[in-house]
A and B are shown apart, each in its own frame.
Chain A
Amino acid sequence: MLDIDKWQEIFFTIRKNKLRTFLTAFSVAWGIFILMILLGVGTGLQHGVEYDFRDDAINSIWISPGQTSKPFKGMKPGRRLTLKSEDYEDIRDKIKGVEYAATRFHCWGNFTVRYKDNYSSFNVLGVSPEMMYLENQTPILGRYINKLDIIDRRKVAVLGTKVVEGLFDKNENPIGKWIDVRSIKYLVVGVYEDKGDEGEMKNVFIPLTTAQLAYNAKNRVHSIMYTVGDASVKESRAMAEQTREILSEKYKFDLTDDRAMFIWNNVENFQKFKNLFIGVKLFLWIIGVFTIIAGIVGVSNIMFIVIKDRTREIGVRKAIGATPGSIIGLFLQESILITVVAGYIGLITGIGVIEFIKWALMEFNIDAPYFRDPEIDLFTAVLATVLLVVSGAIAGYFPARKAAKVNPIVALKEE
C-alpha cells in the first residue's frame, strides 16, 4: 500500500478525470449517506417504540377481568368478572417463574387531594409493595408502600413527583406531612419517580388494603400483574396460559373466551415489536444497499472508461514486464480508493445529519411520537465501512480483470 508509484498514478488519473471521478464518487457518497439516514431514522423509530414500553417492566404480564362472551357450563355470557386479593396470592404462589407479583385497586374517578391550601385532582390507587417493580418506579425520597402498611392498613401515601410539585412548595419536604384525600388524612412516606410519561407521576399510591377498606371494596382488586424474570417468550406464554387456566377454573369461564379475562403479555408484545424492527432494519439495509449498488455500478463504469483510455499504456507496461496481477492491483486500488474516500464522506455526513437531528430533538425539546434518539451505532458504521471496501473491490475487479487481459501487442501498434 505504501507504494508511491501506484498512488502517484492513481492521483494522476483522478486529476485527469476530475469531473468524472467527482460524479462517480458523489453517487457512492450519496448511497452511503442515504443508508446512514435510513438506519439512523430506523433506530430513532425503534427507540421511540421502546420508549413507549419503558413505562412498565417489559418482562411483565398484566391481568384484568372483563365480561364473559361465551356460554360456559350452562351459564349465559355477559357475566362481569372481578378479581380478589386471594387471586393475586394464588397466582404468585402457584405459577412457576413469577418474580414479582403485584396487584392494584383503582379508586375510580379523580380525587381532590389537598395539602394546606393547595389542592388538585390526582389518581389514587391502592397497591401492593411489589408494584414498584412492575411500574418501573423508584422511590427518590422516603420509601415505597411496604408489607406492614398492607397488614396494618396504614393511612400512608407515596406520591409521584408531579403530585409533590402540585401540592408542596419547592423547598418543602413532603415526607411526614399529612395530605387529605376525600377527608381522609394520609401520611406522606415517600416520593417516587416513574420512567414513563408525566401521567405516571401524577398518582397517589396508598396501601391496597387501606384503599379497599376506605372505598368499601372488601377484597376486590382491579388488576394483577407479575414479572417473569428472564423467561423466554415461550415460557412467558406458558405462564400466561397457566394464569388463564387458574382463573378460568375459579371464575368458571371458557378458556377460549378472550373477553372474560384480559391477559396482556408484555414479553410477547415486546418481542413482536423487536421482530418488527428487525424486519424494518433489514428492509432499510436492503434499500440502502441497492442505493450503494447504483453508486458501485458508476465506479465500475468509470473504471472501464479509464482502462479503455489507458489500453496502450497497459500494453506498454505488460511489454516491460508487468504481471497481470500487478495490473489488477493497480486498478483495484484506484477503485477502492474512490469508493472508500467517497463512502467515508457520505458516512460522516450521514452520521452528522443524524447527530444533528438528535441534538435538535433534545435542544428544542421536540417530542415526536414514536421517534427519539436516532443514532448510528459503531457496529453499523464499521459494517458500512467493510461494505464500502468490499464493494469498491467488486466495482474495480471486473474492469481490472479486463485491463489484465490487454494484449501487450497494442503497445507496438501505431496510433
Chain B
Amino acid sequence: MIYLNKIIKSYEVGGHFLQVLKNVNLEIDKGELVSIMGSSGSGKSTMLNILGILDSYDSGTYRLNNTLIKNLTEKKAAYYRNQFIGFVFQSFNLLSFKNAMENVALPLYYQKVNRKKRNIKALEYLEMVGLRDWAYHMPSEMSGGQKQRVAIARALISNPKVILADEPTGALDSKTTMEVMNIFKEVNDNGMTVIIVTHENEISKLTDRVIFLKDGRIIDREVAIAS
C-alpha cells in the first residue's frame, strides 16, 4: 500500500541545507495498523507531510496504492489527497460554521457529489462513529472526543486507501483516548490501513507495528528502547 524507497528530504535553514529525512525506506501493507514514533526533530512531521502528499521530497520514490507520488501539480496533489488519504488532526480541524454532518460531507463536496447524496452518506458515517444524533450540532457544542469522532468520520467518508492520524489523541483525556483508539481499531478491522503518528507509548502499544524515527532515520525497536 505504502512504499518508501531512499527518501531524502532537506530544508534550507539559514543558508545551510538541513537533512531531515536521510534515506528512509519503509513498506506498509494494506490493512496494517501502524504507529510512527519519534521525538521532536526526528523527522516525524516531515515524514507525515510526505506520506500525506502535503510536501514534496528531494529524492527517492514514494508509491501510494501503486501510484508514484512525485512532482505533482497542486491540482493533482489535491486530487490524490482527496482520493487516497483521510486525515485526522490533533486539533480536529472541524469547520466551525458547519454542523457535524456538513463537516463529514466536506471531502465529498470536493469530489463534486451533490449535497443531498453526500449528506445521506455523512449520516451513515456519523452512525458508524456513534454520533448519528449529533448530526445537526455545531462543533462548538461537542466535546473533544465527539469532535475527533466526527473528524474520523470525515476522514473515512471518501473511502481513502489510508488514514493518516497526527497525534489524534493529543488533545483528549484518557477515557476519550480509548474511545477514539477503539474506533481506529474497528476501522482497521474492516480492512483500512491506518497510520498514527504519536509520541505516546500507550497509543503505539495498541498498534500492530511501531516505526521509530530518530535523526531522520528509521531505527530498530530494540535500539529505540535502549536509547
Contact = CB atoms under 8 A, between A and B. Distances in A.
Contact of B74 (A313, A316, A323, A409): A323
Contact of B82 (A5, A320, A415): A320
B109 A323 contact: no
Interface stretch (B85-93, B126-134, B186-194, B213-221): B85-93
A409 B90 contact: no
Contacts of A411: 54, 87, 89, 93
B107 A320 contact: yes
A320 B89 contact: no
Q: Is the interface of A mostly helix, strand, loop or mixed?
A: helix
B199 interface: no
Contacts of B81: 318-321, 408
B54 A412 contact: yes
A316 B89 contact: yes
Q: How large is the interface on A (under 10, 10 to 19, 20 to 34, 35 or more residues)?
A: 20 to 34
B110 A412 contact: no
B91 A415 contact: yes
Interface in B99-128: 102, 106-107, 109-111, 115
B75 A320 contact: no
Nearest to B110: A321
B5 interface: no
Task: Name, among B75, B79, B89, B102, the residue most crowded by chain A CB atoms within 10 Å (CB to CB).
Answer: B89
Contact of A316 (B45, B55, B95): B95
A323 B78 contact: yes
B110 A322 contact: yes
B54 A408 contact: yes
A17 B54 CA distance: 31
B195 to A, nearest CB: 13
A385 interface: no
Interface string B42-79: 00010011001011000000000000000000110011
A8 interface: yes
B154 interface: yes
Contacts of A408: 54, 81
15 contacts: A316-B95, A318-B78, A318-B81, A319-B52, A320-B82, A321-B107, A321-B111, A321-B158, A323-B79, A408-B54, A408-B81, A409-B49, A409-B55, A414-B90, A414-B91
Given A321-B79, A324-B78, 4 more contacts: A5-B115, A319-B52, A320-B110, A411-B87
- Nearest first, the 9 A-B pairs at minimum CB distance are A321-B82, A12-B97, A321-B110, A316-B93, A323-B78, A408-B54, A319-B87, A409-B54, A320-B107
Interface of A: 4-5, 8-9, 12, 312-313, 316-326, 404, 407-409, 411-412, 414-415
